[in-house]
Homo-oligomer: A and B are copies of this chain.
Amino acid sequence: MSKKLQVTVWGENVHEWKHEAVRQHYPKGMHQCIADALNEAGDIEARTATLQEPDHGLTEEVLARTDVLTWWGHCAHDQVEDKIVARIRARVCQGMGLLVLHSGHYSKIFKSLMGTTCSLRWREAGEVERIWVCNPGHPIAQGLGEYFELPEEEMYGEPFGIPAPEEQVFISWFKGGEVFRSGNIWRRGNGKIFYFRPGHETYPTYHNANVKRVILNAVRWAKPEGVWIDGAPEIKADKAPEPLVARGGSVHDAAGAIA
């Protein structure tokens, strides 16, 4: 009987097979690289799921047993079925943690949880990214220095079309002159959401020790701490906490349905 934290690492799994520039870094797929790093930690059981599987690998059963879901997608956001997006969102609201990685900023699931455009400016030029820690005491920043650098990354620049983050963990400096909110926290329902910027497919970012540390920290931080099962119960007048006699007109029948 496993007590390990159950993580599902979702990968779009397209670039790896179309572009040699990607495959050279991730011969088993980006998702497998991320899952392998998590499995090394000892307290985590990470499995992968991909776009091409039935239900994109995210059946009701898989999501029910998932504590934290990580999401990487880029060129095939539109191929993710709306019903699966709704299923993920429902689980986040219940309490499942969600890590959205890099180009996942434009995924259906992230946009549907944020309610905003999630747009940004970008440049694929293999430039230096320096990721600054905005809160050295935050659990997601443990084990890092004041900043860490990625020698080659895609640039994402402000304005980033997101609601104001509830906590700011990282902000990035780019060699070409831009800045970006690259480690952002929100809560939706009872689920904790962390967006982490790095991870362009043509660079070996997910092999970087600091990036692996952040993902590990974030997975542990995002674990559920309780469950909120959705419901919209009708409380009849005779079940009200205080004595109450119903009055006035109604559009509902005795069963609560609209007449």
Interface residues of A (CB under 8 A from B): 15, 18-19, 21-22, 24, 74-75, 89-90, 93-95, 106, 112-117, 119-127, 130, 132-139, 141-142, 147, 149, 152, 155, 157-161, 163-168, 171-179, 181, 186-190, 201-203, 221, 224-237, 240-242, 244-252, 258-259
How far, in whole Å, are A134 and B163 apart by their CA atoms in the complex? 11
* Ranked 9 nearest A-B pairs via Cβ: A126-B248, A21-B249, A177-B241, A137-B190, A137-B228, A176-B240, A202-B249, A125-B246, A137-B226
State the oligomeric state as a number of copies.
Answer: 4
CB distance from A118 to the nearest CB of B (A): 9
Q: Which residues of B contact A152 (CB under 8 A)?
A: 247-248
Name the residue on B nearest A251 (C-beta): B19
Q: A135-B190, A203-B249, A237-B176 are in contact. Are A258 and B75 (CB under 8 A)?
A: yes
Interface of A is mostly: loop
Name the residue on B nearest A155 (C-beta): B235
CB distance from A228 to the nearest CB of B (A): 3
Q: Within the complex, which residue of B19, B137, B181, B229 is in contact with A259, where a contact is CB–CB below 8 Å? A: B19
Q: Which residues of B contact A241 (CB under 8 A)?
A: 130, 147, 149, 173, 176-178
- A232/B124 in contact, CB under 8 A: no
- B127/A115 in contact, CB under 8 A: no
